[in-house]
Structure 1
């Protein structure tokens, strides 16, 4: 069985959605749908590995400032599509320590901020346009693997994976487990980063609050995805109607997605 965590040395959170079972007896194909963090730091060896899969589509969900600062290193043979969920990064994955410190000195602000981010991902027009186009590109990709990613590969990418796996009829419990897998595969990197941050700051309640808030921003929480789901259900009844009515994914597109990515 292929590995779910890809062997990428100069990137974080590179994962395969293959192997997940659906409610109607199918299985997501391996090496066809890859959810990842940024491709900006990939080395040549990483790019060779992705080209060999082969990756044929690179969907970049980041904002304009993010891609200007850290453009993707696109695998050879892949078509690149910039589909910004937000005009600017609202998840704080790419913001400076100084910018975030101004907002995150109050306990609980990180958690509350992420709930707002997930509600906005379910309702904002920029997110709607991005995810609509993502589905169209995936439906058209009948050969090779598609990568979809943001900066950390957890929030905008996590929402994309939730919508996509829901469209493929993967059970909600499985989708949530995949979403939370981010915390496990990025734990060492995240905790090392937070420890370094703490070393460079004075001891005290303000620093404790900042570190705890940064931990909330840098990880995923089932409450975050649940906030998006409850927002969707309050407005559209269920995820299926959100996909077909709000995102306007046609029965033909859904059938093509399932043909492309299920076995």
Structure 2
């Protein structure tokens, strides 16, 4: 009986989580024909009761296949800044398609070995440990995200910014987490935004996992681990940062270069 009750509670919790995500998606997701996982980071409540402004910062997956209609949508949302977190080769193979005069910057630090990482999954039966190792490596984080924060600080009040990688879940997920943290958003909310990629990428994840099994001969379980986001992955990044630098605040200050004045400016620009 106890097991049945626990199972029922788990199902209810899962249903509630999915229902909440569907409701959240209605206001957060930007419908595009040529990109997935494109969503607004607005609306999140900070610890002191403020809210992240809507329509200012967006996160996405690959943006090389945007249609003319998609570009019109970006123009309507005043998206004039594009921060690309992919590696040099990734960006060359699938260059972003953006509106003319978009301020574009490539932040490839640590991303040029992604191909080698994919090869490391062959012969494995569990992908979690490799993903945790990846998320625990803070070597390239500062060089990758410092330009991102620089663009946010420099962006005019009447413009908006999108940042992305290929899948829009790992490099983009860490970037979103650090940004939301700097704005004072609670960690639980940060994690919810991170894990939402599983919802936004559900169909794409299933497709990618099948391709990895078929063409790369990767174990099915490993493939599913790789395409998903899990709490322990992002936890690994924050744990590593705290272990090496004492706190996330100290890391943002000493490694990313965000001064107290910068944090105040970010909050003034992107909170209401």
* TM-score bracket relative to the smaller structure: 0.7 to 0.9
Matches of 1:196 and 1:58 in 2, distance apart?
A: 29
Listed as ranges, the matches of 1:9-20 within 5 Å are: 9-20=33-44
State the SS of the aligned residue for 2:221: helix
2:256 to 243, 247, 251: 247
- Cα displacement (A) at 1:87: 4.4
Is residue 83–residue 148 contact of structure 2 (8 Å, CA) maintained in 1? yes
Gaps of 5+ in 2: 1-23
Change (3 A) 1:197 1:162: closer
Relative contact order higher in (CA < 8 Å, ≥ 6 apart): 1
- Cα displacement (A) at 1:247: 1.6
- Cα displacement (A) at 1:44: 1.1
State the SS of the aligned residue for 1:75: coil
Matches of 2:86 and 2:119 in 1, distance apart?
A: 22
Matches of 1:245 and 1:189 in 2, distance apart?
A: 37
State the SS of the aligned residue for 1:214: helix
1:105 to 123, 132, 141: 123
What's 1:217 paired with? Answer: 226
- Cα displacement (A) at 1:64: 0.4
Greater shift in the superposed pair: 177-186 or 138-147 = 138-147
Listed as ranges, the matches of 1:86-165 within 5 Å are: 86-90=110-114, 100=118, 103-108=121-126, 110-120=127-137, 123-124=138-139, 126-141=140-155, 142-165=157-180
2:243 to 234, 241, 255: 234
Is residue 23–residue 170 contact of structure 1 (8 Å, CA) maintained in 2? yes
1:174 to 164, 179, 189: 189
State the SS of the aligned residue for 1:188: helix
- Root-mean-square deviation (CA, aligned residues, Å) is 2.1
Is residue 30–residue 38 contact of structure 2 (8 Å, CA) maintained in 1? yes
1:82 to 102, 106, 112: 106
Change (3 A) 1:151 1:215: same
Is residue 101–residue 210 contact of structure 1 (8 Å, CA) maintained in 2? no
- Cα displacement (A) at 1:50: 0.7
Give aligned pairs, total.
247
What's 1:52 paired with? Answer: 76
Matches of 2:120 and 2:232 in 1, distance apart?
A: 24
Matches of 2:28 and 2:159 in 1, distance apart?
A: 17
- Cα displacement (A) at 1:75: 2.8
